[in-house]
Amino acid sequence: MGSLLSTMWMAAQALEADQGALDATSNNIANQNTPGYSRELAIFTEATPTVEGNLTYGNGVLLQQIQSVRDQVLQLRIGEENQQQSSAQAQYGALQQVQNLFADPTQGIGADFTAFFNNISQLSTQPSSIPTRQAVLTSAQNLVNDFHATGQNLDSIQSGLNQTVAQEVSQINSLTQQIAQINERVGQMQRLGQDPGSLGDQETQLIQKLSQLTTVNQIQTENGLTLTTGSGTPLVVGGQSFALQTTNGASGMTDISSQGQDITSSLDGGQLGGNLQVRDTVIPGLLTQIDNLASQFTTSFNAAQASGYDLNGNHGQALFADTSGPGAANNLSLVVSDPSLIAASSDGSQGSNGNLSNLLAVQTQALPSGANPVDTYANLVSQVGNLTAQAQAEIGASTSSLNQLNNQLGAESGVNLDEETTNLMNYQRAYQAAARVVSTIDSLTQSVLDMGSGVTAAP
Amino acid sequence: MLHDDANRKQEQAEYLGRVQALGQAIASAISAIEKYDRTRFEAHLAVQETICNRLTATNWKVLFEGTAPSLIEEVRQAHMALAQLNRVYAALLKRVRRSSGLIVALYRSHGEGYDRGPSPLLSQGHTWSCEA
Nearest to A356 by CA among A301, A426, A432: A301
Which chain B residue has its CA at the smallest distance from A400's CA?
B34
The CA distance from A401 to the nearest CA of chain B, in Å, is: 6
Helical (H) or strand (E) element with A391:
helix A373-413
The CA distance from A279 to the nearest CA of chain B, in Å, is: 23
Measure the CA–CA gap between A171 and A212, rounded to whole angstroms: 11
- Contact A400/B96, CB-based, under 8 Å? no
pLDDT of residue A54: 82
SS3 A319: coil
Q: Do residues A201 and A68 touch, judged by C-beta distance below 8 A?
A: yes
pLDDT of residue A320: 94
Amino acid identity of residue A73, one-letter, is V
- Contact B36/A404, CB-based, under 8 Å? yes
Measure the CA–CA gap between B32 and B15, rounded to whole angstroms: 25
For residue B103, pLDDT beyond 50? yes
pLDDT, average across residues B103-126: 55
DSSP A341: G
Q: Do residues A165 and A283 touch, judged by C-beta distance below 8 A?
A: no
pLDDT of residue B129: 30
SS3 A235: strand
- Contact A404/B34, CB-based, under 8 Å? yes
The CA distance from A230 to the nearest CA of chain B, in Å, is: 11
Mutate to test the interface with A, among B33, B102, B128, B130 (most CBs of A within 10 A): B128
Measure the CA–CA gap between B60 and B41, rounded to whole angstroms: 28
Q: Is B132 on the interface with A (CB under 8 A)?
A: yes
Question: Given pLDDT bands bounded at 50, 70 and 90, which one contains residue B106?
Answer: confident
**Least CB-CB distance to A389: which of B87, B89, B98?**
B87
For residue B123, pLDDT beyond 70? no
Measure the CA–CA gap between A78 and A401, rounded to whole angstroms: 9
Mutate to test the interface with B, among A76, A91, A395, A402 (most CBs of B within 10 A): A76
- Contact B88/A396, CB-based, under 8 Å? yes
pLDDT, average across residues B6-23: 90
Q: Do residues A429 and A14 touch, judged by C-beta distance below 8 A?
A: no
- Contact B36/A407, CB-based, under 8 Å? yes
The CA distance from B3 to the nearest CA of chain A, in Å, is: 41
Q: Do residues A355 and A337 touch, judged by C-beta distance below 8 A?
A: no
Helical (H) or strand (E) element with A236:
strand A234-237
DSSP A334: B
pTM score, whole prediction: 0.75
- Contact A394/B103, CB-based, under 8 Å? no
**Which residues in A lie closer than 8 A to residue B128 (C-beta atoms)?**
72-73, 76
**Which residues in A lie closer than 8 A to residue B117 (C-beta atoms)?**
none
Beta bridge mates, A225: A220
Q: Do residues B127 and A76 touch, judged by C-beta distance below 8 A?
A: no
Q: Is A397 on the interface with B (CB under 8 A)?
A: yes
Nearest to A286 by CA among A366, A367, A383, A370: A383
pLDDT of residue A237: 92
Measure the CA–CA gap between A426 and A42, rounded to whole angstroms: 12
Q: How far is CA A452 from CA A8, A36, A456, in A?
A: 20, 60, 7
Q: Where are the alpha helices (DSSP H) in A109-197?
A: 109-122, 130-191
Angle in degrees, CA A405, A407, A408, rounded to 5: 65
pLDDT of residue A249: 84
- Contact A220/B30, CB-based, under 8 Å? no
What length does chain B have? 132
pLDDT of residue A454: 60
What length does chain A have? 459
Measure the CA–CA gap between A136 and A119, rounded to whole angstroms: 5
What are the per-10-residue average pLDDT scores of chain A (459 residues)?
77 90 90 81 86 83 82 82 92 94 87 94 91 95 95 94 95 96 86 77 88 89 85 91 91 90 90 95 95 95 94 92 89 93 89 91 92 93 93 94 86 83 90 90 84 57
Which chain A residue has its CA at the smallest distance from B130's CA?
A219
β-pairing verdict for A40-46 and A216-221: unpaired
**Which residues in A lie closer than 8 A to residue B92 (C-beta atoms)?**
396-397, 400-401
Residues 58-117 in B contacting A (C-alpha not used; CB under 8 Å) = 83-84, 87-92, 94-96, 98-99, 102-103, 106
Measure the CA–CA gap between A397 and A80, rounded to whole angstroms: 13
Measure the CA–CA gap between B131 and A199, rounded to whole angstroms: 26
Q: Is A156 on the interface with B (CB under 8 A)?
A: no
DSSP A336: -
In degrees and rounded to multiples of 5, residue A50 shows phi and psi of: -100, 130
pLDDT of residue A188: 84
The CA distance from A74 to the nearest CA of chain B, in Å, is: 8
The CA distance from B129 to the nearest CA of chain A, in Å, is: 7
Measure the CA–CA gap between A340 and A310, rounded to whole angstroms: 6
Nearest to A364 by CA among A356, A354, A375: A375
**Least CB-CB distance to A407: which of B35, B84, B99?**
B35
**Which residues in B lie closer than 8 A to residue A396 (C-beta atoms)?**
88, 91-92
**What distance lies between CA B126 and its chain's CA centroid?**
36
pLDDT of residue B126: 34
- Contact A396/B94, CB-based, under 8 Å? no
**What distance lies between CA A233 and its chain's CA centroid?**
17
Number of A/B CB contacts below 8 angstroms equals: 68
